[in-house]
Structure 1
Amino acid sequence: MYFVFDIDGTISFDGKTISEEIQQAIVLLMEVGHDIVFASARPIRDLLPILPEAFQRCQLIGGNGALMWGHDGVEAIYFEQALREKLCQIVEQYQLSYLADSDWDFAYTGDKAHPIYNRIHHQGAKNVKLNELPQMCKLVLFDVSKEALDELTKLSVTISQYASENIVDISPLGIHKARDLQGDFIAFGNDMNDRTLFEAAQHSVCVGDGEVAKFASRVITKKEVARTIRQFANHRGMDK
């Protein structure tokens, strides 16, 4: 069995750290023979710093499925050029602020006080202009108007909305966290971008009672995360 963990709002609640208690619970899963996957909206660049070194050797899925961390570094799925041009036209037409990611470099014009900016780790990455980004695998837009959103929904892309942060997250069509996961797994998540994980999982745990909770097998509070993980390690998780 393997376990798939979202990061922000699921096992990290400040955007910077994972508590020692939760870390130890995940290590316990590993010690009893389970495989661990971390699947996040974060690009790999921003996923690595929040994970202890032992967890960095696990399978890492970033950019809601557009990025993978492998032996040869970051593997990415990009928007096709014509689609990228249409996205850039909408950004320009509606004067939208954004965070665009390539496999490592990025382009950011949003408010530096926004929580998403605090999760960006430069680590040798450059903040460049949108038209200077070699390729684009993920686009986050801030304060999107209804008119702009209507235009975006006409495109062949995957769109996730995060009302709490007032952002729209755009990935290539068909890209989601569960796309490369095979076999039985147990998923932990908290937001709508975890829906595909919940629907594909043998068992799913939602942290908090957000909109995605209706797709989960079980709903817990953030205070129950470490205990719930330990229950699975002790073969009692699905019975509680």
Structure 2
Amino acid sequence: MLYVFDVDGTLSFNGTEINEMIIESIKKLEQYSNQIAFASARPIRDLLPIIPAFTDNHLLIDGNGSIVQMKNNTIDVMNPISANSTLLIKQLISKYNLNYLVDDRWNYASKVKANTPIIKQIDPGKLAKRVPLNTITNPIKIILLNIPDRIKNFVANVLMC
């Protein structure tokens, strides 16, 4: 049987680790020839430090399904954000001076205030590189922060087109 576990809020309640009792229970499932997979909104590089007991030979479905790490440790991007949408989002970031987190297959670009809760979840294992936004051409996930109320609807309408 295949068991797929969500991580944040299901296995990890603090965003940084999984309780040892939960880990042992998952390992017991494997002892009975079950397959284990982990799913997360996070990119793979941010998930690996939370599941160190399960980083080998497990299917990882990350970035809300946009990126998958297969059992042989190959990483496949399933559905990157289109080039047109990426260009538009980058223009909005620049025009409105938005804070952001943009993930590609492994690295990321960010402009995030130090007191933003998401900061502790960005590359906690120091596995990636923080790169300039203009170097990310095939993002898998974009989070926009501090969007002023006056432009939220505009941004939503533009991105829906």
- TM-score relative to the length of structure 1: 0.60
Name the amino acid aligned to 1:52: P
Take 1:56 and 1:140, find their aligned partners in 2: how far apart are those partners? 28
Query: Quick one: which of 104, 113, 122 aligns to 1:102?
Result: 104
Number of the residue aligned with 1:42: 42
Report what 1:135 is aligned to. 138
Deviation per CA, 1:40-67, whole angstroms, max 9, x where unpaired?
0110111111112335421101111111
Asked if the contact 2:102/2:110 (under 8 Å) is kept, the reply is yes
- Asked if the contact 2:86–2:137 (Cα under 8 Å) also holds between the matched residues in 1, the reply is no
For residue 124 of structure 1, report the CA deviation from its aligned partner. 4.3
Q: Does 1:63 align with 2:58?
A: no
Aligned sequence identity (%): 34
| Contact persistence 2:57–2:73 (CA under 8 A) | no
Alignment of 1:107-122 (within 5 A): 107-121=109-123
Show the counterpart of 2:29. 29
Deviation of the 1:79 alpha carbon: 1.4
Instruction: Report the CA distance shift for 1:148/1:129 in structure 2 as closer, same or farther (over 3 A).
Output: farther
* DSSP-derived class of the 2:49 partner: helix
The AA in structure 2 aligned to 1:49 is P
**1:74 counterpart residue number:** 75
Paired residue type of 1:58: H
Which shows bigger deviation, 139-148 or 42-51? 139-148
The answer to whether the 8 A contact 1:90-1:148 is kept is no
Partner of 2:16: 16
Which runs of 4 or more aligned residues in structure 1 lie more than 4 Å from their structure 2 counterparts after TM superposition? none
Aligned to 1:126: 129
Q: Is 1:83 the counterpart of 2:78 in the alignment?
A: no
Contact 1:67/1:74 (<8 A) preserved: yes
Query: Tell me, which stretches of 5 or more residues in structure 1 are unaligned?
Result: 158-240
User: How far apart are 1:115 and its partner, in Å?
Assistant: 2.6
Coordinate RMSD, CA, aligned: 2.0
Note if contact 1:112-1:118 (Cα within 8 Å) is conserved in structure 2.
no
The equivalent of 1:167 in structure 2 is none
1:147–1:5 distance in 2 versus 1, CA, 3 Å: farther
How many residues of Structure 1 are paired with residues of Structure 2 in the alignment?
A: 157
Unaligned runs of 5+ in 2: none
Q: 1:4 to 1:152 in 2, by over 3 A?
A: farther
Structure 1 CA distance for aligned equivalents of residues 64 and 83 of structure 2: 20
